[in-house]
């Protein structure tokens, strides 16, 4: 376990639902939020071993944690996943829409749009349904709420192979802004994180190959990959009072990767 650098005292006892917490960034967010004293509802899809590991890690922080399961390709199931999460601790203070699929598919290899549709279901439609269910439940109980969407720099700058993924993440950034506008008067904040390259179990082998690492890291002014702890700390910030005036924002965390653009290198 890594110690969180900042402590947001107002997060203690906050009930947060994190989707896709069985590996990678979601597991890192869970670990950091547990260190901040949040009670957690952790979602997974298939990786049971992964979610058990996350559960064990977060429980070591002395918080309460529960698990829910669901495949977001089946949008008919999303409301019931949300209802289970809401009932675990008799309500929720925050929702982190992190679950997602990183689809690499050339448009001409997906002429019927199957990969495109599946990607939009998991990365955009499920967050829409979860956030809307959360806002409705908060409104009924006249409670404030806080939503963090895990988007991607592909929502802002992208490349070949990513039509489905980039469309889903640009859509998620737009959804963040619209829902922030619609729900501001309810006391519900909605913000996005837009990460760059964060090595996770799924990508360790490729991203830590020396040639590949050099190529990526040299393009990042900050000189390193992101970590799941970077993502966890940014999530804690967005869920805390420290960011009270932020809503409808897309917070880019990419070590400066997309700020640089494609200008020639100068000495």
Ligand X SMILES: NC(=O)c1ccc[n+]([C@@H]2O[C@H](COP(=O)([O-])OP(=O)(O)OC[C@H]3O[C@@H](n4cnc5c(N)ncnc54)[C@H](OP(=O)(O)O)[C@@H]3O)[C@@H](O)[C@H]2O)c1
Residue 24 is a binding residue for ligand X (CB under 6 A): yes
For residue 202, state whether it binds ligand X (rule: CB under 6 A). yes
- Of 224, 240, 107, 220, which Cα lies nearest the Cα of 164? 107
Residue 220 C-beta: closest distance to ligand X, Å: 12
Closest separation between CB of residue 189 and ligand X, Å?
20
Size of interface with ligand X, in residues (CB under 6 A): 28
Print the binding letters for residues 66-105 with ligand X: x by CB under 6 A, - otherwise.
Answer: -----xxx------------------------xxxxx---
Q: For ligand X, what does the binding mask look like between residues 42 and 61, x meaning CB under 6 A?
A: --xxxx--x-----------
| Residues designated catalytic | 165
Length of the chain counted residue by residue: 267
Nearer to ligand X, 39 or 173 (CB): 173
Is residue 127 involved in binding ligand X (CB under 6 A)?
Answer: no
Range 220-239, binding ligand X (CB under 6 A): none
- We find the least distance from the C-beta atom of residue 185 to ligand X, in angstroms, to be 28
**195 lies in the site for ligand X, by CB under 6 A:** yes
Distance CA 130, CA 27 (A): 19
Judged by CB under 6 A, the residue of 40, 58, 188, 197 near ligand X is 197
- Residue written as tokens 């547990």? 34
Interaction between residue 138 and ligand X (CB under 6 A) = no
Residue 228 tokens read as: 């799941």
Closest approach of ligand X to the CB of residue 54, in Å: 9
Would you list the DSSP string of 163-223?
Answer: HHHHHHHHHHHHHHHHHHHHHGGGTEEEEEEEE-----TTTHHHHTSHHHHHHHHHT-TT-
User: Among residues 195 and 255, whose Cβ is nearest to ligand X?
Assistant: 195
Please give the full DSSP string across 93-113, using - where no structure is assigned: SEEEE-------B-GGG-TT-
Integer Cα distance of 67 and 47 in angstroms: 12
Is residue 198 a contact partner of residue 226, using CB atoms and an 8 Å limit?
yes
Is residue 183 a contact partner of residue 190, using CB atoms and an 8 Å limit? yes
User: Minimal CA–CA distance to 68: which of 52, 55, 56, 84?
Assistant: 84
Interaction between residue 150 and ligand X (CB under 6 A)? yes
Instruction: Report the interface residues with ligand X, using CB under 6 A.
Output: 20, 22-26, 44-47, 50, 71-73, 98-102, 122, 150, 152, 195, 197-198, 200-202
């Amino acid at each position: 376990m890594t110690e969180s650098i900042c402590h947001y005292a107002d997060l203690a006892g906050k009930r947060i639902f994190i989707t896709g917490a069985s590996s990678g960034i979601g597991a890192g967010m869970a670990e950091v939020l547990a260190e901040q004293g949040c009670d957690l509802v952790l979602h997974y899809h298939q990786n049971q071993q992964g979610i058990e590991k996350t559960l064990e890690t977060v429980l070591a922080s002395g918080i309460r944690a529960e698990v829910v399961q669901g495949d977001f390709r089946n949008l008919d199931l999303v409301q019931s996943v949300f209802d289970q999460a809401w009932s675990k601790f008799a309500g929720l203070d925050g929702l982190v829409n992190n679950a997602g699929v990183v689809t690499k598919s050339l448009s001409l290899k997906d002429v019927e749009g199957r990969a495109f549709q599946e990607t939009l279901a998991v990365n955009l439609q499920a967050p829409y349904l979860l956030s809307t269910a959360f806002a409705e439940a908060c409104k009924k109980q006249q409670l404030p709420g806080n939503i963090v969407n895990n988007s991607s720099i592909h929502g802002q700058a992208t490349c070949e192979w990513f039509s489905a993924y980039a469309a889903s993440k640009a859509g998620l950034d737009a959804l963040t802004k619209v829902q922030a506008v619609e729900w501001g008067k309810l006391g519900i904040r909605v913000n996005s994180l837009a990460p760059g390259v964060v090595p996770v179990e799924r990508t360790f082998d490729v991203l830590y190959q020396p040639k590949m690492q050099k190529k990526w890291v040299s393009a990042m002014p900050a000189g390193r990959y992101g970590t799941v702890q970077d993502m966890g700390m940014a999530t804690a910030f967005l869920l805390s009072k420290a960011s009270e005036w932020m809503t409808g924002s897309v917070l880019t965390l990419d070590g400066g990767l997309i700020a640089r653009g494609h200008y020639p290198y100068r000495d």
